[in-house]
Amino acid sequence: MAFTPPRLLPLPLPPAAAPASTRAVSARHHGGRTAPELSGPTPRVVVVTSGKGGVGKTTTTANLAASLARLGLPAVAVDADAGLRNLDLLLGLENRVHLTAADVLAGDCRLDQALVRHRALQDLHLLCLSKPRSKLPLAFGSKTLTWVADALRRSPNTPAFILIDCPAGVDAGFVTAIAPAEEAVLVTTPDITALRDADRVAGLLECDGIKDIKIIVNRVRPDLVKGEDMMSALDVQEMLGLPLLGVVPEDAEVIRSTNRGVPLVLNDPPTPAGLALDQATWRLVERDVMTAVMVEEQERPKKKGGFFSFFG
Amino acid sequence: MATASVAASLPFCLLLSPRLFRGRRAVRWPRPIRASASSNASDVAGGERKLGALESRVGDLRALVASVPPAVASIQKSISPNFVAGFCVGIAFLAAAARQVIIRSRDHDNRGSVADLVRRGQLKSGQRGTAKLRTYDDPFNNSLVKIDEGTSTAQMFGKEYRLAPVRLTKEQQEMHQKRRSRAYQWKRPTVFLREGDSLPPDVDPDTVRWIPANHPFAAASSEVDEETAKQNVYQKDGVPSRVKAEHEALQARLEASNAVTKLPSDPRSMQHNERPMRSSGKPSENLQSSKFDNQGRQVSIESGKHSSDGSSQSNGPEGQ
Query: Per the structure, how many domains does chain A have?
Result: 1
Task: Read off the pLDDT of each residue in A2-8 and give the average, rounded to a whole number.
Answer: 35
Most B-contacting residue of A88, A112, A244 (CB-CB within 10 A), to test interface: A112
Is pLDDT larger for residue A134 or for residue A71?
A71
Give a yes or no: residue A282 inside a domain. Answer: yes
Q: Residue B299: its pLDDT value, please?
A: 36
Give how far B174 is from chain A: nearest CA, Å: 8
Q: Which residues of chain B have pLDDT under 70?
A: 1-46, 69-73, 76, 106-136, 218-223, 262-320
Amino acid at B157: F
In the three-class reduction of DSSP (H, G, I as helix; E, B as strand; rest coil), residue B284 is classed as: helix
- Residue ranges for the known binding site of A for ATP are 52-59
pLDDT for A127: 94
CB contact under 8 A, A70 and B172: no
Query: Residue B123: what pLDDT?
Result: 63
What's residue B241's pLDDT? 86
**Residue A247 falls within a domain, yes or no?**
yes
Q: How far is B196 from chain A (nearest CA, A)?
A: 14
pLDDT value of residue A82: 81
Residue A147 pLDDT: 93
Mutate to test the interface with B, among A13, A28, A73, A109 (most CBs of B within 10 A): A109
Burial class (CB in 10 A: 0-12, 13-18, 19+), B274: exposed
Facing residue for A262 by CB, picked from B129, B180, B298: B129
Tell me, letter by letter, the H, E, C secondary structure of B26-60: HCCCCCCCCCCCCCCHHHHHHHHHHHHHHHHHHHH
Q: Does B259 touch chain A (CB under 8 A)?
A: no
Q: pLDDT class for A224, splitting at 50, 70, 90?
A: confident
Q: Which one-letter amino acid corresponds to residue A188?
A: T
Residue A140: predicted pLDDT? 73
B146 touches chain A (CB under 8 A): no
Q: Does the beta carbon of B124 lie under 8 angstroms from any beta carbon of chain A?
A: yes
pLDDT (mean) for A67-72: 92
CA distance B19 to B82: 34
Q: How far is CA B266 from CA B269, B271, B275, B281, in A?
A: 6, 9, 16, 21
CA distance A25 to chain B (A): 10
Size of interface A-B (CB pairs under 8 A): 332
Residue A90 lies in a domain: yes
Residues 6+ apart with CB under 8 A from A45: A149, A161, A162, A164, A180, A181, A182, A183
- The DSSP symbol for A7 reads S
Cβ <8 Å between A140 and B222: yes
Q: pLDDT tens digits for B175-219?
A: 999 999 999 888 888 888 888 888 888 888 888 888 887 777 766
Confidence of residue A218 (pLDDT cuts 50, 70, 90): very high
Q: Is pLDDT of A183 > 90?
A: yes
Please tell me the distance from the alpha carbon of residue A130 to that of residue A100, in angstroms, as a whole number.
5
* Residue A189 domain-assigned (yes or no): yes
User: What integer pLDDT is reported at residue B265 of this predicted model?
Assistant: 54
Closest approach of chain B CAs to the CA of A38, in angstroms? Answer: 15
Q: Is A222 on the interface with B (CB under 8 A)?
A: yes
Spell out the domain ranges in chain B: 82-123, 142-186, 188-222, 226-260
Find the CATH number of the domain harbouring A208: 3.40.50.300
Interchain contact A234–B (C-beta under 8 A):
yes
* pLDDT value at A307 more than 90: no
User: Does residue A237 lie in a domain region?
Assistant: yes
Pick B312 or A173 by higher pLDDT.
A173
Out of A27-36, A213-222, B185-194, B272-281, which region has the weakest mean confidence (pLDDT)? B272-281
pLDDT digits 0-9 by tens, A137-162: 766 767 889 999 999 999 888 999 99
Reported as a pLDDT band with limits 50, 70 and 90, residue A2 is: very low
Tell me the pLDDT of chain A averaged across its residues.
Answer: 82
Q: Which residue from A32, A98, A141 is facing B191, i.e. has the nearest CB?
A: A141
Among the listed residues B161, B153, B156, the one whose alpha carbon sits nearest the alpha carbon of residue A226: B161
| Amino acid at site A76 | V
State which residues form the domain around A232: 45-286
Q: Cβ of A203 and B186 within 8 Å?
A: yes
Domain membership of residue A10 (yes or no) is no
Q: What per-residue confidence (pLDDT) applies to B2? A: 40
CB contact under 8 A, A294 and B162: yes
B291 contact residues in A (CB cutoff 8 A): 108
State ipTM.
0.80
The residue of chain B nearest to residue A84, with distances taken between CA atoms, is B216
Q: Which residues in chain B are closer than 8 Å to A159, comparing Cβ atoms?
A: 317
Flag if A206 and B177 touch (Cβ within 8 Å): yes
| A295 part of a folded domain | no
Residue A33 falls inside a structural domain: no
Contact A108 B129 (CB under 8 A): no
Nearest CA in chain B to A90: B129
CB A231 within 8 A of CB A262: no
Spatial distance between the Cα atoms of B165 and B149, rounded to a whole number of angstroms: 12
Q: Do B234 and A151 touch (CB under 8 A)?
A: yes
